[in-house]
Copies of this chain bind each other. A is one copy, B any other.
Amino acid sequence: MRRKVYVEGSRPDIRVPFAEVDLSNDDPAVRLYDTSGPGGDPEVGLPQLRAHWIEERGDTEAGPALGPATQGQTVRHARPGRRPTQLHYARQGTVTPEMEFAAIREGLAPEVVREEIAAGRAILPNNINHPESEPMLIGERFLVKINANIGTSAVSSSIAEEVDKLTWATRWGADTVMDLSTGKHIHATRENIMRNSAVPIGTVPLYQALEKVNGDPKALNWEVYRDTIIEQAEQGVDYMTVHAGVRLAYVPLAADRVTGIVSRGGSIMAAWCLAYHQENFLYTHFRELCEIFAEYDIAFSLGDGLRPGSIADANDAAQFAELDTLGELTHIAWEYDVQVMVEGPGHVPMHKIKENVDLQREKCAGAPFYTLGPLTTDVAPAYDHITSAIGAAMIGWWGTAMLCYVTPKEHLGLPNRDDVKAGVIAYKIAAHAADLAKGHPTAHEWDDALSKARFEFRWQDQFNLSLDPDTAREYHDETLPAEPAKTA
Q: Are A475 and B409 in contact (CB under 8 A)?
A: yes
A407-441: which have CB < 8 Å to B?
A: 408-409, 411-414, 416, 425-426, 428-430, 432-434, 436-439
The answer to the question of A36 belonging to the interface, with a C-beta cut-off of 8 Å to chain B, is no
Contacts A156-B479, A393-B390 given; does A311 touch B379 at CB 8 Å: no
The answer to the question of A468 belonging to the interface, with a C-beta cut-off of 8 Å to chain B, is yes
Q: Are B472 and A412 in contact (CB under 8 A)?
A: yes
Please give, as numbers and ranges, the residues of chain B lying within 8 Å of A428 by CB-CB distance. Answer: 380
Please give, as numbers and ranges, the residues of chain B lying within 8 Å of A159 by CB-CB distance. Answer: none
The complex places the Cα of A277 from the Cα of B472 at a distance, in Å, of 39
The complex places the Cα of A454 from the Cα of B258 at a distance, in Å, of 10
A295-319: which have CB < 8 Å to B?
A: 309-312
The complex places the Cα of A390 from the Cα of B409 at a distance, in Å, of 20
The answer to the question of A446 belonging to the interface, with a C-beta cut-off of 8 Å to chain B, is yes
The answer to the question of A284 belonging to the interface, with a C-beta cut-off of 8 Å to chain B, is no
> Chain B's nearest CB lies how many Å from the CB of A180?
15
> Chain B's nearest CB lies how many Å from the CB of A215?
16
Please give, as numbers and ranges, the residues of chain B lying within 8 Å of A258 by CB-CB distance. Answer: 448, 451-452, 455
Q: Are A455 and B378 in contact (CB under 8 A)?
A: no
Q: Are B451 and A259 in contact (CB under 8 A)?
A: yes
Please give, as numbers and ranges, the residues of chain B lying within 8 Å of A466 by CB-CB distance. Answer: 379-382
The complex places the Cα of A472 from the Cα of B409 at a distance, in Å, of 8
The answer to the question of A329 belonging to the interface, with a C-beta cut-off of 8 Å to chain B, is no
Q: Are A472 and B259 in contact (CB under 8 A)?
A: no
The answer to the question of A394 belonging to the interface, with a C-beta cut-off of 8 Å to chain B, is yes
Q: Which of B411, B414, B467 contacts A380 (CB 8 A)?
A: B467
Q: Are B413 and A479 in contact (CB under 8 A)?
A: yes
The answer to the question of A280 belonging to the interface, with a C-beta cut-off of 8 Å to chain B, is no
The complex places the Cα of A448 from the Cα of B428 at a distance, in Å, of 29
The answer to the question of A270 belonging to the interface, with a C-beta cut-off of 8 Å to chain B, is no
Residue ID in chain B nearest A480 by CB atoms = B413
Q: Are A349 and B382 in contact (CB under 8 A)?
A: no
Q: Are A437 and B479 in contact (CB under 8 A)?
A: no
The answer to the question of A189 belonging to the interface, with a C-beta cut-off of 8 Å to chain B, is no
Q: Which of B350, B429, B452 contacts A397 (CB 8 A)?
A: B350
Please give, as numbers and ranges, the residues of chain B lying within 8 Å of A387 by CB-CB distance. Answer: 429, 433
Q: Are A383 and B426 in contact (CB under 8 A)?
A: yes
The answer to the question of A24 belonging to the interface, with a C-beta cut-off of 8 Å to chain B, is no
The answer to the question of A155 belonging to the interface, with a C-beta cut-off of 8 Å to chain B, is yes
The complex places the Cα of A465 from the Cα of B438 at a distance, in Å, of 36
Q: Are B393 and A350 in contact (CB under 8 A)?
A: yes
The complex places the Cα of A156 from the Cα of B454 at a distance, in Å, of 22
Q: Are B155 and A447 in contact (CB under 8 A)?
A: no
Q: Which of B350, B378, B479 contacts A394 (CB 8 A)?
A: B350
Please give, as numbers and ranges, the residues of chain B lying within 8 Å of A380 by CB-CB distance. Answer: 425, 428-429, 432, 466-468
The answer to the question of A351 belonging to the interface, with a C-beta cut-off of 8 Å to chain B, is yes
Contacts A259-B454, A413-B476, A466-B382 given; does A351 touch B447 at CB 8 Å: no
Q: Are B436 and A311 in contact (CB under 8 A)?
A: yes
The 30 listed contacts between A and B (C-beta, < 8 Å) are: A258-B452, A310-B448, A312-B447, A349-B444, A350-B433, A350-B434, A350-B436, A351-B397, A351-B437, A351-B439, A376-B429, A376-B433, A377-B433, A377-B436, A377-B447, A378-B447, A379-B447, A379-B467, A380-B466, A381-B463, A381-B466, A382-B466, A382-B468, A385-B386, A386-B386, A386-B389, A386-B426, A389-B390, A390-B433, A416-B479
Report the 6 A-B pairs with minimum CB-CB distance, sorted nearest first.
Answer: A413-B479, A310-B451, A350-B437, A376-B433, A378-B447, A382-B471
Known: A349-B433, A412-B479. 5 other contacts (CB 8 A): A310-B451, A379-B447, A386-B386, A394-B394, A409-B475
